[in-house]
Amino acid sequence: MRPSRRALIAAAPALALAACGHRDVAQPLPPARPLKATARFPVGTSLMTGELQEPQFVGLVRSNFSQITPEWEMKMERILGADGSLHFEAADQIAGFCRDNGLRLHGTTLVWYSQDPPAFEALKDNRAAFEAKLREYIGAVMGRYKGLARGWDVVNEAVAENGDGYRGGVWAAGLGDDYARLAFEMAREADPGAVLFLNDYNLEQMPAKLNSFQRLAERLLKAGAPLTGLGTQSHLDISLAKGEAGVAIKALARFGLPIHVSELDISTVGGDFSLGGDASRLEAQARIAGEIAEAFAVLPAHQRYAFTVWGVRDKDSWLRGGKSGHPDDQPLLFDDDGRPKPALSAIEAAFARAK
């Protein structure tokens, strides 16, 4: 069974604290072929500040990736206090790491149904005040990282789980069904040069959700929203049938917009129970990783915004955390000890074939 996203998201603060002082620091391993060296486009990963204390982790990031997405510490529930105050300490640390190491920053996320901060809940019956507060927040956050953050997930996971309709949480309560368009307009005001993304998950596995995502993108563009990028999170697992990993990318390519594979991981637990031990599961994982990398790599150059993996080593993954996580999952490109896995080789091979 896949973990509950909300349960694991809720565990993020505790996981971030745990990362700061309760992991053993392994000795750095001899570097594998740098992943970023095989790509003609940015290759990203996610991280939290605690991981920046680990020499091996930092070494793997510097060697293999060219873009960073803050896993949790740039989200609203971390930055925005209950009293409306802003707390940038953790986000600044990640931004500083990017700046010091010549890495591009991708910001996530400005408006998300899953986060309903008290500062906005208190204003949801006063549209004018609610709108002014959101404009203030987006302006402050994007303005702080302007010039370093190349793009932002402006609206995240707006499509209902089964693809039947849309969800908006406190944002729809405060601004109505037009909240997404307004958020994109506010983001464009805050940073005219950033790529502004609509981002969602399960687009590969659920045709109905992919269709609803495309309809939302069409609606926003028709309404004049400055939507300039499309993100597919790509949280996958080894049950995915052959040929399905690249479905969302191929469908979204028709918009002509930059595409971001924004949170790739491929769970090895559950899924296809006909597979035997770890070797068979890692082989299936590598097949899927190669498929999605191939679909991305053959896009026109102007549509290849970035290919982001949601973590570095298996033990860093959110799929290991919270009550719903599985301690035996191996969803990333490097194992617990920082050794490259077959999925990494499959992605490198796909990238090497790109023009």
157 catalytic, yes or no? yes
Q: What is the dihedral of CA 154, 295, 343, 274, to 10 degrees?
A: 100
Residue 314 per-residue DSSP state: G
Listed residue (217, 228, 213, 328) closest to 271, CA to CA: 328
Euclidean distance between CA atoms 110 and 115, whole angstroms: 10
HSE-CB at 120 with a 13 A cutoff on CA atoms is 26
Euclidean distance between CA atoms 250 and 247, whole angstroms: 5
φ, ψ for residue 321, nearest 5 deg: -100, 175
Euclidean distance between CA atoms 147 and 247, whole angstroms: 33
Give 150-201 as a 3 state SS string: EEEEEEECCECCCCCCECCHHHHHHHCCCHHHHHHHHHHHHCCCCEEEEEEC
Q: Where are the alpha helices (DSSP H) in the chain?
A: 5-10, 12-21, 55-64, 76-79, 89-101, 118-121, 127-144, 169-175, 179-190, 207-222, 247-252, 278-297, 342-352
77 catalytic, yes or no? no
Tokens of 23: 């992991």
Out of 51, 54, 71, 263, pick the active-site residue.
263
Out of 51, 54, 157, 204, pick the active-site residue.
157
Catalytic machinery residues: 157, 263
